[in-house]
Amino acid sequence: MGSFETFEVELTQLLPRLRRFAHTLSRNSADADDLAQATIERALRSRDQWQPGTRLDSWLYRIMRNLWIDTARARARKEKREAPEEAAKEIGEDPREAMHASIELKRAMLAMEQLPDEQREVVALILIEGFGYREVAEMLDLPIGTVSSRLGRGRTTLLEMLGGVGDG
């Protein structure tokens, strides 16, 4: 039997031990499987570096340990840069509320467009821009009572159009 066949036979015989050692290092079955597979792949690619007559198991364990150290270091770097996957559920906002608000805003703006000009300008200045009644009265050169009545009629009309009043 040549060194190539000896290598493969001994490697196959060592698989249970490699898997056990991988589990010892990783403490996780899935990670152990990945580590064992990576070790075998590396050993097969590098088999010309193994010296026949030396301990194959020691050589494979050294490969595995080095791979595990590389994996642990990479994870540590990744954890410093990225939030854990589970945290993704807690990061950001649920877009549904913003979508509903956007839809409601569009409905309100369409309803505003249907108001008579004199009501629309008073509603916009007071309810949207946040000016006071007196400021709006001065801006539009209107008596404060006129501003108040236009706002009241505009608000009532908007609520009716948006389904907030007069449904019953």
Compute CA 110 distance to the chain's CA centroid, rounded to the nearest angstrom: 34
Predicted confidence (pLDDT) per residue in 43-85, tens digit:
999 999 988 888 899 899 999 999 999 998 998 888 888 766 7
Rounded to whole angstroms, how far apart are CA atoms 116 and 7?
90
User: Where are the domains positioned within the chain?
Assistant: 3-89, 95-161
The amino acid that residue 70 corresponds to is: D
Section 38-46 average pLDDT: 95
The CATH code of domain 95-161 reads 1.10.10.10
Asked whether the beta carbons of 123 and 112 are under 8 A apart, the reply is: yes
The CATH code of domain 3-89 reads 1.10.1740.10
Phi, psi of 128 (to 5 degrees): -100, -50
pLDDT of residue 166: 47
pLDDT of residue 43: 94
pLDDT reading at 168 higher than 50 = no
Rounded to whole angstroms, how far apart are CA atoms 135 and 157?
23
Predicted confidence (pLDDT) per residue in 110-121, tens digit:
888 898 988 988
pLDDT of residue 41: 96
